[in-house]
Amino acid sequence: MISFQKASKLGIASEDLELNDKTQTQKKFLIRNDCSQETIEDIRRIYGNVVFSDPLNAEDFDKSIQKIYKNKSIIDDEHMISLGETISLDEATQSLLSKTSIENNNDDAPVIQMLNSIITQSLAKGASDIHFETNDESFDIKMRLDGNIINILSLRPEISSRIISRIKILGQINISERRLPQDGRVTFKLGKQIIDVRISTLPTGSGERVVMRMLGKQNQLIKLNKLQMPENIYNNFKSQVRKPHGLILVTGPTGSGKTTTLYSAIDSILNLGLNIMTIEDPIEISFPGISQTQVNSKLGLNFAEGLKAILRQDPDVIMVGEIRDPETASVALRASITGHLVLSTLHTNTAYGAISRLRDLGVDPYMISSSLNCVIAQRLLRKYCLNCRNESINLGGKSSDQLFKLDGCEQCDYSGLHGRIAIFDYLNINAHLKNKISDGDLLIKEDSINERSNLSNEAINLVEQKVIPKFEAVRMTLNDNE
């Protein structure tokens, strides 16, 4: 496939993007009037018997290729920005704030440098999101790192519109629209890493807010055996993922790593000759060889509609990003008892909570008991920074005071914490539980094997092993016995 960038540079584009489609014998190419003979010969050599359009002028050519590439899949180099070498954030800030740059409002170079530098540094640290918040007194730039928001920089509010306009250009978002929320996408290239970024804007009383969410980072995909699940959970889960039908749910609050677990599960069955299809919001990692669809609420493509469309495409395994409405719940459960393996997430704290949540979404108890294979509940807990852990522990890291603050060191941005570890709870829906569920007996919790709250137990173990501070264990498992 010819990328958008290449097409506009060389002045040549295929009218049908699927050049690999063997059913069509003759490819049609559009050419711009300055397209070189060499390029035309190359295309003939590669694609054989092809048809070329009459040479188009630049304006008509641009219009046509924009139409062709408009509906293309998201991860492509049509709109890739190379971050390359950037100057330090301090230098970029100074350059942007210098007198000349303020006076010369048309000079975009300092704004571009500044933004590149913010993005590069956030990526280097492993941030998942970058926030740009316009307030009355300041323009604040923050990043989310290991689940927590960290301030990067505060600037004068006058700067905000220039930086936000630049972000909008990157995301191909309407710059002049400041009253409505908008979203866009951009792909960055940093060394060998390709990072797909979702951009969303939201108007507020003091100006616009923008969030850039980093997707598709290669390091997000973790092999199933590297999730550090306890061995019994790992073995059980692994065999459930290979079953031909049924429902597998992963539960936890936002940011607990549910999607990562689902992706790892899918990765573990990629080469089994199955038709794997997903409906997601957003697509966080793109897998070669499986069909992933992005929810698009503007066009009415929600989880339920996407799922129904997928079911007409002869799938074996379906991943539904989240079950959060009665219709999706009903379609997903029906799919899972009619010969499909369905994987999804639910927004509940515990594994048991999944059953009552499905009941709340109007699913018949009998349907739950016949479809549900297993539920995983999980959390991500912040670990001590290895570099300053001893000091933190000496200073009282065992305290359960939630306001407790660690001193930290340079390596952990003075937070005392660095990186995260996942803890899991696992509910296998065995015959006994199935009976309980279909009887509508919601008091199953007491009957369970050792499941008082495996998450709490796991967290306490990690505190005792000095991997995480106690306040982190308390904070993340507080509502476990709901």
Smallest separation, CB 408 to Zn ion (Å)? 5
Q: Closer CB to Zn ion, residue 306 or residue 397?
A: 397
Q: Can residue 387 be called a binding residue for Zn ion (CB under 5 A)?
A: yes
CA 388, CA 413: separation in Å to the nearest integer? 11
Question: Bridge partners of 426?
Answer: 376
Identify the burial level of 265 via C-beta atoms within 10 angstroms of its C-beta, where 0-12 means exposed, 13-18 middle and 19 or more buried.
buried
By CB under 5 A, name the one of 215, 385, 444, 468 that touches Zn ion.
385
Q: Which stretch binds Zn ion (CB under 5 A): 70-78, 95-103, 378-386, 462-470?
A: 378-386
Q: Which stretch binds Zn ion (CB under 5 A): 49-57, 62-70, 280-288, 410-418?
A: 410-418
Beta strands in 385-447 (DSSP E): 417-428
Q: Closer CB to Zn ion, residue 384 or residue 426?
A: 384
Q: Closer CB to Zn ion, residue 397 or residue 408?
A: 408
In 10 A of CB 338, how many CB atoms? 10
Q: What residues contact residue 66 under an 8 Å CB cut-off, 6+ apart?
A: none
Q: Can residue 412 be called a binding residue for Zn ion (CB under 5 A)?
A: yes
Amino acid identity at 364 = D
Dmax over CA atoms of the chain, in Å, equals: 77
Q: For the chain, give the number of residues.
A: 482
Q: Closer CB to Zn ion, residue 32 or residue 418?
A: 418
How many residues lie near Zn ion (CB under 5 A)? 7
Selection from 340, 217, 333 nearest residue 285 by Cα: 217
Selection from 74, 317, 301 nearest residue 199 by Cα: 74
Q: Closer CB to Zn ion, residue 385 or residue 463?
A: 385
Q: Can residue 395 be called a binding residue for Zn ion (CB under 5 A)?
A: no
Instruction: Give residue number: closest CB to Zn ion.
Output: 385
HEC assignment per residue over 245-256? CEEEEEECCCCC
Q: Can residue 409 be called a binding residue for Zn ion (CB under 5 A)?
A: yes
Smallest separation, CB 399 to Zn ion (Å)? 18
Q: Which stretch binds Zn ion (CB under 5 A): 33-41, 47-55, 112-120, 387-395?
A: 387-395
Q: Which stretch binds Zn ion (CB under 5 A): 11-19, 190-198, 347-355, 381-389?
A: 381-389
Q: Closer CB to Zn ion, residue 382 or residue 470?
A: 382
Q: Can residue 468 be called a binding residue for Zn ion (CB under 5 A)?
A: no
Contact, 129 vs 213, CB < 8 A?
Answer: yes
DSSP H or E run through 280: strand 276-280
Q: Can residue 388 be called a binding residue for Zn ion (CB under 5 A)?
A: yes
Q: Closer CB to Zn ion, residue 228 or residue 411?
A: 411
Eight-state DSSP code of residue 91: H
- Residues of this chain that interact with Zn ion (CB under 5 A) are 385, 387-388, 408-409, 411-412
